[in-house]
Every structure is written in C-alpha cells, then in structure tokens.
Amino acid sequence: MPLFVFKKTSVVVQPRQRWMVDLAVTSLDINKFPSVKADTAWQVHKSNRLTEFLQCASDTLEKKKKSNQIYEQMLGGLESFMLQYSVWHARGARREDFMDHWINEEDNPRSAAEINYAAYYPVLEEIRRTCGSLEKLN
C-alpha cells in the first residue's frame, strides 16, 4: 500500500550503524489505512509529482495564512493535517470520505465534522486548483 510521510525528518546514518526512526505516515487514500505492524520492511521511492504537489500545497497554505487573520488562526499549527487532507482531496476524496474519517477515525461528533468540512473544503479546493490532481503519480 503506498504511503507518504507527512512530517519532515532528517536522518544521517553512518555505514554499519543501525537506528530506529519513527515516521508519521499516512495512506495516499483516505479510505486505506497504513499498516500498524512493527518491524515492517519499507522501500522508499521518491515521487517527483508528489514532492511538487506537497511543496505547492505548503506554499498555498502559507499564502492563505498570510492573506487574513482568520485563516492564520484557523490553519496555524495544522500544516501537517492540511497537507494530508490536501493529498486525499487531490486523489479524489469526497465529502462523505472526510465525514467518515472525522466521525469514525477521529471520533468527532457529526456537528464537528460538518464544521471541519465547511472550514477546510475551500482551502483544499484552492490547493487542488493551484497544485493539480494526484490521481496518477509517477
């Protein structure tokens, strides 16, 4: 299952040394969950398109936060979640998918999920318009 890292980390490993690294990962699709198995072997592949999208989405979020104080307050500190949501949205996640995620996976009441969607959807849509779709990755 393709996953992506949504929080940055930098690791330097010397030859013949072993290190444990905790990565915050999520699935590329809202309705697929990452494996929770410990000791899972990972293969890392860089997707140029995904890298470009994440940089564009990050830049768009920063511009949005600087555009007015309401967005600054609403989006401040939520960058990693908004990047995750923007990937899901760019891959085709629908309103029902987000509602299901917030209600069933994050244990929010429906009213809070409705508020989240109303608040975040315009930003996610702007990111998709600006940065494009992720339905096909290299």
Tens digits of residue pLDDT in 88-131 = 999 999 999 999 999 998 999 999 999 999 999 999 999 999 99
Largest CA distance in the chain: 52
Q: Is 109 helix (H, G, I), strand (E, B) or coil?
A: coil
In which band, very low, low, confident or very high, does the pLDDT at 135 lie, cut at 50, 70 and 90?
confident
Tens digits of residue pLDDT in 2-36 = 555 555 556 667 777 766 666 566 677 777 766 56
Residue in 49, 61, 127, 63 with CA at minimum distance from that of residue 93: 127
Q: What is the dihedral of CA 105, 100, 61, 135, to 10 degrees?
A: 110
pLDDT of residue 57 exceeding 70, the answer is yes
Please state, in angstroms and rounded to a whole number, the distance separating the CA atoms of residues 68 and 23: 32
Is 106 within 8 Å of 85 (Cβ atoms)? no
What's the whole-model pTM score? Answer: 0.75
Buried residues in 2-32 as b, exposed as e (16+ CB within 10 A): ebbebeeeeeeeeeeeeeeeeeeebbbbbee
Please state, in angstroms and rounded to a whole number, the distance separating the CA atoms of residues 113 and 134: 24
Is 103 within 8 Å of 113 (Cβ atoms)? yes
pLDDT of residue 72: 87
